[in-house]
C-alpha cells in the first residue's frame, strides 16, 4: 500500500486540502486513519495536518522521552517545515489534550483556537512511580510480547477492544488494511505502553506549565456521549464540563459517540473545528 503522507520533522505527517491550517493530534495509540472522516469533510476548505507521534502509524520509533514541551515543539517544527506561518487550530484527542494545550500555551502566536476532544483531564498533581522506572518496565513488557509473538496474535483484538468506534457505513477495506498493518508493528505496542507510562509525568508537566502561562486562544472542550444513561457516562460528561469551566472554555457534546468521537461522528467534529475558524 502507498504511504499516504511523508516524513516531516522525523515523523509521519499527512496533509490534505487548502485553507486555514488545522493540526490533528490523536490520543493514546492514535493513527492518521482515525481522522479520515473528519479530513474528508474539512479538507474542502482547510489545510488539515495529521501528525503521528513516534512509533504510531507510519512514524519511526524513538527512544526520546515523551514530554509536553517536546511534543509542542514537534508541532511547531512540522508547521515550519511545511512553510505554514498562519496560526493553526489545534485539536487534541484524549491524552493528546496535554500536547494541544501545551502548544497553545507555549506558542500562542501560532495558535488560532483549540479543540479538546473527549480529553483526559489533568487538573491536579498526584504521587507516582518515577517515570524512568515506569517507562523501562513498559519497554520490557513490549519487547517480551513482541519476541514471543503475542503482539501479532492479539494486536488487532486489543485495538478493537480499546477503540470500539466505527465510521458511518462501517470500516472501509482500506482503513482495515492499515489497521491490520499498524497494530502488528512492535514499535506501535512499545510506543503505546511508553506513552501510557509517561502519563503521570505529562500531567505534572502541564500543570506546572499552567502556573506561568495562559490560554489566549478560544478553547472548546467537547465530550463524547454514547447515549447510554449510566452513572459512569454522567460522571464523565460532568467531568468534561467542569474541565471546560476550569479552562474558561466553551463546552460541547458529540453524540451518539464513543471515546473516538472523530470516528463515530466525523461530521460533528468537523463542524466544531469549522466553528472555531471564525
Three-class DSSP labels, 132-198? HHHHHHHHHHHHHHHHCCHHHHHHHHHHHHHCCCCCCCCCCHHHHHHHHHHHCCHHHHHHHHHHHHH
Please check whether residue 38 is in contact with residue 174, taking contact to mean a CB–CB distance below 8 angstroms: no
pLDDT score at 2:
73
Q: Cα 222 from chain centroid?
A: 14
Write down the mean pLDDT value for the chain: 90
Does position 125 have pLDDT exceeding 70, yes or no? no
Please check whether residue 49 is in contact with residue 21, taking contact to mean a CB–CB distance below 8 angstroms: yes
Please check whether residue 87 is in contact with residue 109, taking contact to mean a CB–CB distance below 8 angstroms: yes
Residue at grid coordinates 466553528: 275
pLDDT score at 1:
67
Burial 50-75 (b: 16+ CB within 10 A, else e): bbbbbbbbbbeebeeebbbeebbbbb
30-44, 196-210, 250-264: the lowest-pLDDT one: 196-210
State the pTM of this model.
Answer: 0.93
Alpha-carbon span 152 to 137, nearest angstrom: 20
pLDDT score at 153:
67
pLDDT score at 158:
65
100 vs 1, which has greater pLDDT? 100
Query: Which DSSP symbol is given to 101?
Result: H
pLDDT score at 126:
55
Question: Is the bond leading into 260 cis (omega within 30 degrees of zero)?
Answer: no
Taking only the tens place, the pLDDT of each residue in 27-83 is 999 999 999 999 999 999 999 999 999 999 999 999 888 999 999 999 999 999 999
What confidence category does residue 129 fall into, taking pLDDT thresholds of 50, 70 and 90?
low
Tell me phi and psi for residue 118, to 5 degrees: 45, 55
Q: Quick count: other Cβ atoms within 10 Å of Cβ 144?
A: 11
Percent of the chain with pLDDT over 70: 92
Does position 137 have pLDDT exceeding 80, yes or no? no
Collapsing DSSP to helix, strand or coil, 211 comes out as coil
Q: What is the mean pLDDT of residues 116-124?
A: 82
Q: Would strands 219-224 and 111-117 be described as parallel, antiparallel, or unpaired?
A: parallel
pLDDT score at 184:
82
CB-side neighbour CA atoms (13 Å) of 218: 15
Does position 131 have pLDDT exceeding 80, yes or no? no
Taking only the tens place, the pLDDT of each residue in 147-199 is 766 666 666 766 776 788 999 999 999 888 998 888 888 888 888 888 988 88
List domains and CATH numbers for the chain. Answer: 6-124+199-276 (3.40.50.1820)
Alpha-carbon span 86 to 35, nearest angstrom: 22
pLDDT score at 149:
65
Alpha-carbon span 48 to 182, nearest angstrom: 22
Amino acid at each position: 500500500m502507498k504511504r499516504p503522507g511523508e516524513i516531516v520533522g522525523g515523523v509521519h505527517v499527512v496533509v490534505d486540502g487548502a485553507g486555514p491550517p488545522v493540526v490533528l493530534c490523536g490520543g493514546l495509540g492514535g493513527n492518521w486513519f482515525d481522522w479520515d472522516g473528519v479530513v474528508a469533510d474539512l479538507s474542502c476548505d482547510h489545510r488539515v495536518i495529521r501528525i503521528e507521534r513516534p512509533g504510531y502509524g507510519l512514524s519511526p520509533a524513538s527512544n526520546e522521552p515523551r514530554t509536553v514541551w517536546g511534543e509542542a515543539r514537534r508541532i511547531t517544527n512540522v508547521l515550519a517545515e511545511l512553510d505554514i506561518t498562519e496560526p493553526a487550530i489545534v485539536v487534541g484527542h484524549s491524552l493528546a489534550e496535554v500536547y494541544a494545550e501545551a502548544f497553545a500555551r507555549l506558542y500562542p502566536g501560532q495558535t488560532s483556537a483549540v479543540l479538546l476532544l473527549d480529553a483526559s483531564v489533568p487538573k491536579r498533581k498526584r504521587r507516582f512511580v518515577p517515570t524512568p522506572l515506569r517507562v523501562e518496565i513498559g519497554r520490557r513488557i513490549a519487547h517480551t510480547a513482541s519476541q514471543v509473538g503475542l503482539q501479532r496474535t492479539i494486536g488487532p483484538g486489543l485495538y478493537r477492544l480499546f477503540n470500539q468506534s466505527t465510521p458511518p457505513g462501517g470500516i472501509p477495506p482500506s482503513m482495515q488494511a492499515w489497521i491490520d498493518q499498524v497494530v502488528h508493528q512492535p514499535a506501535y505496542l512499545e510506543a503505546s505502553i511508553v506513552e501510557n507510562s509517561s502519563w503521570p509525568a505529562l500531567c505534572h508537566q502541564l500543570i506546572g506549565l499552567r502556573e506561568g502561562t495562559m490560554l489566549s486562544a478560544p478553547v472548546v472542550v467537547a465530550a463524547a456521549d454514547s447515549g447510554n444513561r449510566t452513572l459512569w457516562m454522567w460522571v464523565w460528561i460532568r467531568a468534561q464540563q467542569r474541565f471546560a469551566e476550569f479552562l474558561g472554555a466553551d463546552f460541547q457534546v458529540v453524540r451518539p459517540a464513543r471515546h473516538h468521537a472523530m470516528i463515530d461522528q466525523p461530521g460533528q467534529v468537523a463542524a466544531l473545528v469549522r466553528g472555531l475558524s471564525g
